[in-house]
Structure 1
């Protein structure tokens, strides 16, 4: 009950702050006060509006908001978000552009499952839609998944990616953003050993912790400072009765959000203070820069406890990917078996989460891959977010990634013959293809 009580306490505090914001806005906007204008009341109303919106967003999954875009023919084409593979813990979705011929570039974006929804990559999707058929992993909020669905750890996550790659076929180009980079590399290696013909054409790893110790950050230091027992005691809670996943052990999104905010507390505090001032002056709008960013940033999701704990233990503490010692159901996954999948890494020079050196380590692990199928890029002045969104991505990184995809879109290079073995059945992996 202790785990459940703390989960419900956090939800109560969030709900209370949302109510306080709504109450302050309602009270300070009382029509009778208009007869005696007072800056304090204007500030209270502005504070209430910003506070209510902020805490309300924390439990709402953002919409993709990609309804249409203008194609080469100069016409606006509708975009349908279609689920192509369903699973208990995540789906593979496709942004189908109606009335447009299928693009030759087929891209699968692997979204992070580190506290935010896949919609965090909305701008990345929009930037790729004109040139690619875009698919993306849409992970589910653990609080909404019944306990009867079973566990979901990093091995299950990897097997989900294997299933997605199998479904899309060998002409796929995979782009993994941040957290999933090491597991996407492992999924490709798994296919290389079990089903080589199902491997993607290329693999682009963006700012991921392949070798967290290559260049330590606060994130990697935290993973080494605490014990697994301390993590379970401090971070893990049980979902309360309000949600379908009641009783499931999770790492709550609200707890992750507090960690995110504390890393740059001064910057976030300044941003909210300035937004309150803009609301007071009537200069704010529903979709201004502040609201566009924080509507997404504050929308957080819970992760299963086993996924969070196994990530810290096996990726950060033991460095199983960095040491090429990762296993699935006790069977080694050898990254050296990747021999004909082009691999590119992208890092930001100012990335304070996955610092330069952590991601490019993937190239050294691919010992079976020819040098002409390896590439890397270090983006000057780019932080963690900038390497997959914003100007750095749009102007510099995206063109390089598309160029890399095109350079490796031809016939696959011949790999050494391997004996295919039957794929072991994965617990909880997706099996239903949407019709």
Structure 2
């Protein structure tokens, strides 16, 4: 009950700040005050506008916002986001461009489950839509999943990826961004052992902690320093009464957001201060640079407690994947079993979350894979977000990834023709 009360208290504080912002904006915009111009009222309106929007966005899942796409024919085609596989904790979505012929590459983008929604990869998806059939994992907010749905830890996450890869078939190219890189590698190895015909054509791992100890960062230092008991005591809460997942143990999105913000507090404080000044002068807009970034950045989701704790304990502390000792559903996964899936790693030279060296460790784990099917790239001057979004991704990394896919494409095996029944065989004989 104690953990549930703290969850509701945090939500109450968020709600109160949203209300204060709305109240300040309404009060400063009172028509009678316009007869007596006052800079303080303009500043109050700006503060209220920014504050209300900021705290409101924390509980809203952003829309994909990809409504149409301009194809080679110069026309805008509608984009429909359709679920291919629907599960309790996450769906497999397809971005279907209406009226466009099927593209030569089928790409599965594995989105991270690290506090933000899959929509964080909106620009990545848009860039791949140019000449790919794009699919993505869309993880659900744990607060909206009833306790009756059961647990969800890193083993369940891995098995979800296995099912999604099986659904799409062997002609799929998988791109894992950040957190899911080690688990996607494990899912591929699991398929290599259990269902080789379902393995993807290629696997691209972008900025993920395959071996967190390869290059220590503030994130890995924290994972080493804190004990699991401390994490469970300070980070885990129970979902409050307002949501469907009432009673479920989670690592709350609002708590995660406070950690994100604290890492660069000076920069965020300055950004909001500047936005308040712009809003007070009437220079802010719904789609300015600040709102475009923070509408996505502030939208956070709860993670199941078992997923968060098992990630810290098994990926960062015990380094099960880095040591090739990862177990899924009672089966010890051997990364060396990957012999036919081309693997490429992408890292940013200035990445302070998954520093260079952590992701490329995947290539050393793939002992059964020939060097001709291994590749790596370190993007100069790029930070963590730059390697999957922004100019570094668009201009340099994306073309390399597309070339890697093309060089390692394979078509799915043709389905075997069903054997003719005795009746069909006799009918054929009569016709001949």
Q: Does 1:393 align with 2:389?
A: no
Deviation at 1:407, TM superposition (A): 0.6
1:319 corresponds to: 319
2:342 corresponds to: 342
1:373 corresponds to: 373
Q: Distance in 1 between matches of 2:389 and 2:242?
A: 35
Q: Could you tell me whether the CA contact under 8 Å between 2:107 and 2:133 is conserved in 1?
A: yes
Deviation at 1:284, TM superposition (A): 1.1
| Alpha-carbon distance change, 411 to 99 in structure 1, aligned in 2, over 3 angstroms | closer
TM-score by length of 1: 0.94
Q: Does 1:254 align with 2:245?
A: no
1:243 corresponds to: 243
TM-score by length of 2: 0.95
2:63 corresponds to: 63
Residues 2-401 of structure 1: pairs in structure 2 closer than 5 A: 2-401=2-401
Deviation at 1:329, TM superposition (A): 2.1
Deviation at 1:31, TM superposition (A): 0.9
Deviation at 1:411, TM superposition (A): 6.4
- Cα-to-partner distance string for 1:249-302 (whole Å, 9 max, x where unaligned): 000000000000000001101111111111112211110111000000000000
Deviation at 1:104, TM superposition (A): 1.2
- Gapped regions of structure 2 (runs ≥ 5): 413-432
Q: What secondary structure, in the 3-state scheme, does the structure 2 residue paired with 1:285 have? A: coil
- Cα-to-partner distance string for 1:135-173 (whole Å, 9 max, x where unaligned): 000000000000000000000000000000000000000
Identify the structure with bigger relative contact order (alpha carbons < 8 Å, sequence gap 6+).
1
Q: Distance in 1 between matches of 2:118 and 2:347?
A: 20
- Cα-to-partner distance string for 1:381-431 (whole Å, 9 max, x where unaligned): 10001000000000000000001000101469xxxxxxxxxxxxxxxxxxx
Q: Distance in 1 between matches of 2:410 and 2:3?
A: 53
Q: Could you tell me whether the CA contact under 8 Å between 2:82 and 2:93 is conserved in 1?
A: yes
Work out which of the two has the higher radius of gyration on C-alpha atoms and give 1 or 2.
2
Q: Distance in 1 between matches of 2:25 and 2:285?
A: 16
Q: What secondary structure, in the 3-state scheme, does the structure 2 residue paired with 1:123 have? A: helix
Q: Distance in 1 between matches of 2:185 and 2:149?
A: 26
Deviation at 1:330, TM superposition (A): 2.4
Q: Distance in 1 between matches of 2:277 and 2:235?
A: 35
- Gapped regions of structure 1 (runs ≥ 5): 413-435
Deviation at 1:227, TM superposition (A): 0.6
Deviation at 1:323, TM superposition (A): 0.3
After TM superposition, the runs of 4+ consecutive aligned structure 1 residues lying more than 6 A away are: none
Report the RMSD for the aligned CA atoms in angstroms.
0.8
Deviation at 1:126, TM superposition (A): 0.4
How many residues matched?
Answer: 412
Q: Could you tell me whether the CA contact under 8 Å between 2:171 and 2:411 is conserved in 1?
A: no
* 278-287 vs 213-222, greater mean Cα deviation: 278-287
- Cα-to-partner distance string for 1:100-138 (whole Å, 9 max, x where unaligned): 000010000000000000000000000000110000000
1:427 corresponds to: none
Q: What secondary structure, in the 3-state scheme, does the structure 1 residue paired with 2:59 have? A: coil
Q: Could you tell me whether the CA contact under 8 Å between 2:112 and 2:178 is conserved in 1?
A: yes
Q: Could you tell me whether the CA contact under 8 Å between 2:188 and 2:338 is conserved in 1?
A: yes
Q: Distance in 1 between matches of 2:397 and 2:130?
A: 16
Q: What secondary structure, in the 3-state scheme, does the structure 2 residue paired with 1:382 have? A: coil
